[in-house]
Each structure stands twice: as C-alpha cells, then as structure tokens.
C-alpha cells in the first residue's frame, strides 16, 4: 500500500465518494477520473482499506467495552463461546492494527511534509512595477494584482499571454508562482518545469526551489530533493538537510 502520493485534497474527495457525500456533478467527474486516470482506482482502494481499518478498530473497542459490561453481570445467564469470541476479535484487532499502522505512517509523513512546506514556502515577491508599464502594460498590471494577493486575476492575464508566447520563461515562472500561491501545487509544476528546462533563464534557480516545494507538498519527497539539490538558494540547502 503506497499512500505517500495521495494529497490531502484527494484523500478528502475519495472519503466523500466512499461515504456517498459527493454532489451529482462531482460524482460524474469522480467516476470519469476513476475510469480514465491510471492508478486512481488503486488510490481509492487504498483509502477504502484505511477507512475500513479505522472502522474495524472502532468496532473492536466498542465490543471490548460491551463484553466488559457483560462480565459484570450474571455470567451464568449469558451463553457464549469464549474461543469463538476471542478468535474473531483477534482477527479484527490484527487486521485493524496493520491497516491503521500503515495509515498512521502516511498521516504522520504527510503532516511532516506539509509542516516543512509551511516553514519554507513564501510566495515569490514578484517584479518591480514602478518603471514598467510602457512595454507590456497588461503584464505589469497583472503583476500588481499578484502582489496584492489577487492570484486568479493575475493568472487570467498571464495564461492568456502564454497562448502566444508558450516558451516565455517569465510568463511560465509567474504563472507557476501564482498557482503555488493560490494553493494549486500540482498545476504549478508543469509551468515551473518549463522554466527549469531553459538553461539561460534568470528564474532557473528559483524554479528549482519552488518545484522542490511543490513536490514536497504533494508528498513526493524524492522529486522534491531532486530539484532542491539543483537550486542555489540557501533555503533549498537548509530544507534538504531536514529531508535527508
């Protein structure tokens, strides 16, 4: 069971699906993903196993309390088979313990990665805008929106400009930065990787650092370390020490 590549958002969505809590629209989207996305069905089964284990452990605890209460009453009036009861409870306990151990490892690992991300992530401060606007007014107007925390407004402009300048490293970098700041780490990765591939980009080291953080938030520790090692940032080296 590999739970390291399941994000918190995915876990919550899968849990909602298993508990029949998705809306009709979200259910259609989920089932389409279930049928067409490679490996997603396995993630669903893994989460189902973890949740089943948690329920089994809760049931065991309830049964233990129930039998403790029974033991205080008149035992002669209660027919039961100690061997059968003990065997069944032991099976439930062992299965639940194994499953919850795996789940606990995942939760602790995920929480650790998220804490490191929170400690080391800060949005890119952006480019100066005071002397800018004559050459590309829309770009710098979007930069002002980005600096004010209006990431969706900035993204609307920058992604539109990318349609005609697909390899522009500045646009790719700040689209990736805005997506990261908007808590869309998975979406940010492809844009930052476009920058990382460009040898002469002034944003290359920055892109390596933020790629490392994006992969860390997605619980892909090895990929995170791979990119952090390429960054010249002191913070990248500090984060690597904590990951090693």
Query: In this structure, is residue 210 part of a structural domain?
Result: yes
Do 156 and 82 reside in the same domain of the chain?
no
For residues 131-146, average pLDDT: 79
Q: Which residues constitute the domain of residue 27?
A: 8-120
Phi/psi of residue 5, nearest 5 degrees: -100, 15
Do 105 and 142 reside in the same domain of the chain?
no
Domains identified in the chain, total number: 2
Do 116 and 141 reside in the same domain of the chain?
no
Q: Which of 91, 120, 149 is the last residue of a domain?
A: 120
Q: Which two tokens stand for residue 43?
A: 């993630």
Task: Find the CATH number of the domain harbouring 235.
Answer: 1.25.40.10
Which residue shows structure tokens 């460009």? 198
**112 class by beta-carbon count within 10 Å (0-12 exposed, 13-18 middle, 19+ buried):** middle
Query: In this structure, is residue 129 part of a structural domain?
Result: no
| Cα torsion 33, 38, 192, 181: sign | positive
Written as one string, the DSSP assignment of 199-218 is TT-TTHHHHHHHHHHHHHHT
pLDDT at 131 over 80: no
Q: Which of 120, 151, 174 is the last residue of a domain?
A: 120
List C-alpha distances in Å: 164 to 17, 46, 159, 198: 39, 42, 10, 18
Task: Write the DSSP symbol of residue 125.
Answer: -
Lowest mean pLDDT among 9-13, 31-35, 120-124, 185-189: 9-13
Do 24 and 109 reside in the same domain of the chain?
yes
Q: What is the model's pLDDT at position 85? A: 46
Query: In this structure, is residue 131 part of a structural domain?
Result: no
Do 115 and 148 reside in the same domain of the chain?
no
pLDDT at 161 over 90: yes
pLDDT tens-digit map of 196-207: 999 999 999 999
| Helices (H), ranges, 19-168 | 24-36, 40-71, 82-120, 137-147, 151-162
Written as one string, the DSSP assignment of 1-19 is ---TT--HHHHHHHHHHHT
Query: In this structure, is residue 2 part of a structural domain?
Result: no
What whole-number distance in Å separates Cα of residue 51 and Cα of residue 43? Answer: 12
Do 66 and 98 reside in the same domain of the chain?
yes
């Amino acid at each position: 069971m590999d739970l390291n590549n399941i994000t918190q958002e995915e876990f919550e969505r899968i849990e909602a699906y298993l508990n029949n809590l998705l809306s009709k629209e979200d259910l259609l989207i989920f089932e389409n993903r279930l049928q067409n996305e490679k490996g997603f069905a396995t993630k669903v089964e893994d989460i189902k196993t973890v949740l089943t284990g948690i329920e089994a452990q809760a049931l065991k605890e309830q049964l233990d309390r129930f039998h403790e209460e029974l033991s205080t009453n008149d035992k002669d009036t209660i027919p039961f088979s100690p061997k059968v009861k003990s065997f069944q409870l032991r099976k439930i306990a062992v299965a639940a313990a194994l499953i919850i151990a795996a789940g606990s490892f995942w939760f602790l690992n995920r929480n650790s990665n998220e804490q490191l991300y929170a400690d080391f992530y800060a949005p890119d401060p952006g480019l100066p805008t005071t002397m800018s606007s004559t050459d590309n007014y829309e770009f710098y107007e979007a930069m002002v929106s980005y600096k004010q925390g209006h990431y969706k407004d900035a993204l609307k402009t920058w992604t539109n400009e990318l349609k005609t300048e697909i390899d522009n490293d500045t646009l790719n970098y700040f689209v990736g930065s805005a997506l990261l700041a908007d808590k869309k780490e998975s979406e940010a990765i492809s844009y930052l990787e476009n920058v990382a591939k460009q040898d002469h980009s002034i944003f290359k080291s920055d892109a390596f650092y933020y790629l490392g953080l994006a992969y860390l938030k997605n619980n892909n520790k090895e990929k995170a370390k791979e990119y952090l090692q390429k960054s010249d940032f002191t913070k990248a080296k500090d984060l690597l020490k904590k990951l090693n």
